[in-house]
Amino acid sequence: MNPACVDSSHGLVGESQPVRLIRKQIEKLGRSRSPVLLLGESGTGKEVVARAIHNANPCGNFIPIDCGSLVGPLMESELFGHTRGAFTASQVSAGCKNRLSIEIYGSKSSVAWNQERPDELWIGNRNTNNQVIVKDPSLLKEGARSYADLPGGHSEGYDDTFKQVFRRFYKSIEDPAAHPEYPQFADGLRQLLILDTELASHKNHGWMEVSTS
């Protein structure tokens, strides 16, 4: 092998036109801070190129991850990070009347919300008493205030959920450039696929991948 054909900084072998093009792309991407997605079959050198892009403008450590050893539900949190918490939704558990609960855990405090008690937000504190906050539009931040119409002490009804959806739908008609703040058809399809996969996972007693179509 001709040593001149081995690029010491990129680790790429060869002087063909495609290899030269890849080197130029590496140098260009190395100057950018944008995420880069590399696609290819196993053994085609994706990690070599990824390492070369990192070495072109080192910032922190290069940490390769064996994605083949990760199950689907853990992939996103492993690659992009996550906040510790729990999300559960059940329409088939005895005693749960369409319960949806969300819990988020921090180092000093935690919060929990239960759809069956929609006007209450539980706050758990490590170094002081826990709290239960009752919904009051006058105390909400501006971005959340429009989701609550009734004053504090007056419970928002379940049907108000649909009212808020239609309000935001008509807002998007009035201003087509506005970002839609309501579920799209793709969101509904995604939810149905998740529910089908949950039932299949329960039947098979194991992890299953959620279909993308």
Same domain, yes or no: 76 and 100: yes
Residue 186: per-residue pLDDT: 87
Backbone phi, psi, residue 136, to 5°: -150, 110
Q: How large is the average pLDDT for residues 161-178?
A: 86
Q: What is the pLDDT of residues 92-101, one digit of tens each?
A: 778 877 777 8
Q: What is the pTM of this model?
A: 0.39
Q: What is the pLDDT of residues 73-87, one digit of tens each?
A: 566 666 666 666 666
CA–CA separation, 23 and 144 (whole Å):
48
Contact between 209 and 72 under an 8 Å Cβ cutoff? The reply is yes
Residue 58 inside a domain? The answer is yes
The domain of 40 spans 3-64
Amino acid (one-letter) located at 121: L
Residue 146 inside a domain? The answer is no
Contact between 194 and 208 under an 8 Å Cβ cutoff? The reply is no
Residue 51 inside a domain? The answer is yes
Same domain, yes or no: 48 and 82: no
Residue 112: per-residue pLDDT: 93
Q: What is the pLDDT of residues 10-47, one digit of tens each?
A: 667 777 888 888 888 888 887 777 778 888 887 788 88
207 vs 95, higher pLDDT: 207
Residue 2: per-residue pLDDT: 45
Same domain, yes or no: 80 and 29: no
Q: Which of 64, 87, 103 is where one domain is finished?
A: 64
Residue 17: per-residue pLDDT: 83
